[in-house]
Amino acid sequence: MTAIALGVPAIRRDPARMPTTFERPDVAGLVDRFGRVARDLRVSVTEKCSLRCTYCMPEAGLPPIARSNLLTPPEIARLVAIAVRDLGVRDLRFTGGEPLMRADLAEIIALSSAVAQGASISMTTNGIGLDHRIRQLVDAGLTRINISLDTVDRDHFSRLTRRDRLPSVFAGIRAAQDAGLAPLKINAVLMRDTLAGAADLLEWALANGCRLRFIEQMPLDADEAWARDNMVDAAELLTVLGDRFALTQPHREDPSAPAEEWLVDGGPATVGIIASVTRSFCESCDRTRVTAEGTVRSCLFGDDETDLRALLRDGADDATIAEWWRAAMWGKQAGHGINAADFIRPLRSMGAIGG
């Protein structure tokens, strides 16, 4: 199979095309036309990955981004500084592709941590090779970590990710726990293929002190195999888990939080479900994203990007970069629209955006 294109959309870089900010209130934060405020920044650091999860990457991987087009550690840290100091960002998460594929990840974290002004610094990773790097990353300032794991069956893992690397993921999980990053959050994408092993995965998570969250699969797979009428939803998962565990819903502290938590067998252990498709939380979305090439993406599903890398490299000052970032977020769309008859998939797949 040949690699598909990254799907990079038309990118705003001409000052004459700055998104219109007509009626935008004169406030520092990343507000949008629907009253949302973005305080959670996701920074993708690479398109490369050690796995090829079928719900994310094409078999051949994404076409490589030229090294000169990737943001450098000082460029990432400069954007982080602007985000926390001038734009009200409180949470920072590194993602990809697989962030551990960047040899300079510790430098990215250390430089970002130095300007983060107390914002949390976390990472979403598949965990492969994490055991060799965790100490360095924690010393650099990493405070939290989410590890993606969809099955604890080695053959199934190999088919799903197209790589036989489950033992390495387990080693990464243990290393993160030993480094004090517990309780560890585990993310699993819900697919027809993974439903049968969902109860085993939960049993494993409970036995290993991990907090498991299932995520409904979104139409962001590079292979474009996702189909609305065949996707597994939260209701179907609850039926399957309910055959082995007693699930009860506690009082929700924060009704706008994406994950719905269920007590397992009376608690205190819980399992989370992020029903991104069937119970969209777009109306309370607080995310802003920067791709590995340095474009701001206001929504996973919005192909409208603004090029901050060009501004950085053209010598723009912080105030100008902040103004472009605000304008980009002001134009954020209302929601993903997956359930609408006229829904069109975004050009970029999940691995090319940064989940």
Based on CB atoms, which residue is closest to ligand SAM, 31 or 212?
212
Phi, psi of 330 (to 5 degrees): -60, -30
Choose among ligand SAM, ligand SF4, none what residue 172 binds, the Cβ cut-off being 5 to 8 Å by kind: none
Based on CB atoms, which residue is closest to ligand SF4, 31 or 191?
191
Q: What is the DSSP letter of 63?
A: P
Strand partners, 296: 290, 306
Asked whether position 293 contacts ligand SAM by CB under 6 A, the answer is: no
Could you tell me the smallest distance in angstroms from the CB atom of residue 21 to ligand SAM? Answer: 31
Based on CB atoms, which residue is closest to ligand SAM, 219 or 331?
219
Choose among ligand SF4, ligand SAM, none what residue 95 binds, the Cβ cut-off being 5 to 8 Å by kind: ligand SAM
The two counts, helices (H) then strands (E), for the chain are 11, 15
Per-residue contact string for residues 21-50; x = within reach of ligand SF4 by CB under 6 A = ----------------------------x-
Strand partners, 264: 247
Could you tell me the smallest distance in angstroms from the CB atom of residue 172 to ligand SF4? Answer: 12
Give every CB contact of residue 68 below 8 A, 6+ residues apart in sequence: none
Figure out which of the listed residues 41, 42, 55, 83 binds ligand SAM, where binding follows CB under 6 A: 55
Residue 334, token pair as written in the block = 């209302």
Figure out which of the listed residues 4, 51, 83, 92 binds ligand SF4, where binding follows CB under 6 A: 51
Binding window for ligand SAM (CB under 6 A); candidates: 1-9, 59-67, 124-132, 175-183: 124-132
Give every CB contact of residue 93 below 8 A, 6+ residues apart in sequence: 40, 41, 42, 43, 121, 122, 123, 124
Q: Which residues within the stretch 190-219 sit at the binding site for ligand SAM (CB under 6 A)?
A: 215, 217-218
Residue type, 14: D
Asked whether position 49 contacts ligand SAM by CB under 6 A, the answer is: yes
Choose among ligand SF4, ligand SAM, none what residue 52 binds, the Cβ cut-off being 5 to 8 Å by kind: ligand SF4
Q: Which residues within the stretch 88-127 sit at the binding site for ligand SF4 (CB under 6 A)?
A: 96-98, 126
The count of residues interacting with ligand SF4 (CB under 6 A) is: 12
Beta strands 287-290; 295-297: pairing state: antiparallel
Could you tell me the smallest distance in angstroms from the CB atom of residue 210 to ligand SF4? Answer: 17
SS (H, E, C) 72-100: CHHHHHHHHHHHHHHCCCCEEEEECCCHH
Cis peptide before 64 (omega within 30 of 0): no
**Half-sphere exposure (CA, 13 Å, Cβ side) for 310?**
12
Asked whether position 129 contacts ligand SAM by CB under 6 A, the answer is: no
Based on CB atoms, which residue is closest to ligand SF4, 51 or 231?
51
Choose among ligand SF4, ligand SAM, none what residue 221 binds, the Cβ cut-off being 5 to 8 Å by kind: ligand SAM
Task: Measure the CA–CA gap between 12 and 305, rounded to whole angstroms.
Answer: 6
**Which of 233, 239, 263 is CA-nearest to residue 250?**
263
Q: What is the DSSP letter of 159?
A: H
Cβ contact 326:87 at 8 Å = yes
List residues near ligand SF4 by CB under 6 A: 49, 51-53, 56-57, 96-98, 126, 148, 351
List residues near ligand SAM by CB under 6 A: 49, 55-56, 95-96, 98, 124-126, 148, 187, 189, 215, 217-218, 220-221, 350-351, 355
